[in-house]
Amino acid sequence: MKALLPKLAWLVSGVLLICVVIAFLALRNDSVRGFLTAPSSADGPPVWLELLKAIVPALAALIAVAGVIFTLVQGFAKGEIDARYAYAGKIFDYRIRQLTELYAPLHIHIRQSKFLYDKLLEALRELKETETFKPIKLNDFRLLHHIHLIFHDSNYDSIKPLVQKILDTGKSMTEIISKNAGLIEGTRTYNLTYYKAHFEMLDAAKDVKPTENQLRSEFGVYPNILNREVAEGFKEVMRHIRAYMETGDEVIWGLLGQKYESRREEIAMYLDNLEWYETHAKEYTDRWNDFDTSSIATEFLKALGGNEEKMFTPREGLKLLDAGCGPGRDVEFFLRKGFNVDGFDFSPAMVRITKRRLRELQSDPQVGERAKECEISVSSFDEIQAIGSYDGIWASASLLHVPRRDFESSLRRLARSLKRDGVIFMSFKAGGKDSIWDSRHYSNYTEESLRKLVGNISELKIVRCWCIGRNGKEMGWWESRRAQRSSNGDSCWIQVLARKSD
């Protein structure tokens, strides 16, 4: 209806203009003027007056009909605008409810739970070993595995309140989810089911020691998946609210006429990938530890000013970010090369393995001090907050899990966290289409598409872009082009080195 008013106005204007033009041309003709001014009969009025008498009623009726139509159209349009405003208000109320009744409370509970868990680990670390008591080793600690021992051994009396608080927090979260399930922004029912089952098992394990079969279950991974699902839902709701608040009243009508592109597919991709890494953490760690990336790392170190005689040991004090650190193998590699290293990964299981590796390194005289200073966190690319903090960023086989729609914004955040003249390394599976392998989603690119995407970030300039095959060797130009056109992304990996300029 909103498009009908201008069309109707143009139609009426056009008809009137045509009538005026025809009348003007006709009156310039002598015979036409003579006909109009001649009397209609011997004693009658002129012809033009008779015509006027005949036309005026019809014209008045036409104007009346046009007025009625215009009033109806205007009424429908106003009603549509009012309906859209009402709809916008309902949607805004719904988003506020999502935020205040579901995501904000869950977000706070998750942070509280993480804080309590960290405190629990600190408390366990401080327990002293005696002749009759050997504390739980942190490398082997799992709450489900050890909760029965904690509640039935008086040596752990000091930490029982912390564990009980963790259980209470989990129970409170499941109650929030149960009461507000209709407010969830795209989810998977089985995640919620397993989450609740996880805390019920924890509660039961206080009194009854779990069997080996129960301890081998994967219930422990679901809190991590749900925590990420809540984080992604929270960000999505906040995107809606920010968009609404930033939109002026004069354009809200037009905005509501547009179709919103849902991010549910992207969130599903994140969760599928997370679930795979959480449930295959050990398998992936073993495979990644055997994968040789030394030749690629050499190119990265060269770009950072490494010295070949000293195996590319960089200048003292350089700081790197391992973006998507996985099980921490590369974190250790760069520590041994003399770097200070921070890292993050989307998967809590990967972060846990990396932290365990770093704890083991703290006793190494070569890297122990730097290992203690490493900051490793559970995070995603769109949560990076650092600005000008790193001399180099190592994003090996990690950005390929970022949905194509989010790639440029993620790369901008990485570029922002680099120092001037800093270097970033990225690697991707080659291909023109996205793919799924082992239930993991991959965003595949060609060399041309990557050059274009990196080129959109004005402060980044590509230093080198090359392809390697399955054998780990660099591919020739023709061979790499043929591989990039193949549907098999494993046949070619694209490596990109870029530097941050002014």
- Measured from the Cβ of residue 278, the count of other Cβ atoms closer than 10 Å reads 21
Give the integer Cα–Cα distance in Å for 304 and 297: 11
Q: Over the stretch 257-301, which tens digit does the pLDDT of each residue have?
A: 545 556 778 888 888 888 899 888 888 988 887 777 778 888 898
Indicate the residue type of 380. S
The count of other CB atoms within 10 Å of the CB of residue 485 is: 12
pLDDT at 250: 44
Which of 343, 205, 331, 216 is closest to 282 using CA atoms?
Answer: 216
- List 418's β-bridge partners, or say none: 390
| DSSP for 113-144, written as a single string | HHHHHHHHHHHHHHPPP-SS--PPPGGG--HH
Angle at 424 between CA 334 and CA 274, to 5 degrees: 80
| CATH number, span 285-500 | 3.40.50.150
State how beta strands 340-345 and 376-378 pair: parallel
Most confident of 89-93, 224-228, 270-274, 323-327: 323-327
Following DSSP, what letter does each residue of 133-180 receive, concatenated? --PPPGGG--HHHHHHHHHH-GGGTTTHHHHHHHHHHHHHHHHHHHHT
Confidence of residue 253 (pLDDT cuts 50, 70, 90): very low
DSSP 407-430: HHHHHHHHHHHEEEEEEEEEEEEB
pTM of the model: 0.64
> So what's the pLDDT on residue 35?
53
Asked if residue 371 has pLDDT above 90, the reply is: yes
What SS3 state is found at 146? helix
**Residue 29 burial (CB count, 10 A):** 10
What are the φ and ψ backbone dihedral angles of 321, each rounded to 5 degrees? Answer: -120, 120
The phi-psi region of residue 388 (left if phi > 0; otherwise alpha if psi is between -120 and 50; otherwise beta) is left
What residues have CB less than 8 Å from 240, skipping those under 6 apart? 95
DSSP 3-state of 319: strand
Report d(CA 371, CA 360) in Å as an integer. Answer: 9
Q: Which helix (H) or strand (E) holds 158?
A: none
Bridge-based pairing state of the strands 319-323 and 340-345: parallel
Amino acid at site 493: W
- Structure confidence by residue, pLDDT tens digits, 157-193: 999 999 999 999 888 988 888 888 788 776 555 566 6
pLDDT digits (tens, 9 = 90+) for 97-122: 888 888 888 888 888 888 898 899 88
Q: Where are the domains of the chain?
A: 40-249, 285-500
User: Would you call 442 helix, strand, or coil by DSSP?
Assistant: strand
> What's residue 386's pLDDT?
94
Residue 197 is predicted with a pLDDT of 76
> How many CB atoms neighbour CB 471 within 10 A?
7
333, 322 Cβ separation under 8 angstroms: no
Residues 6+ apart with CB under 8 A from 104: 234
What distance in Å separates the CA atoms of residue 100 and residue 480, rounded to the nearest whole number? Answer: 52
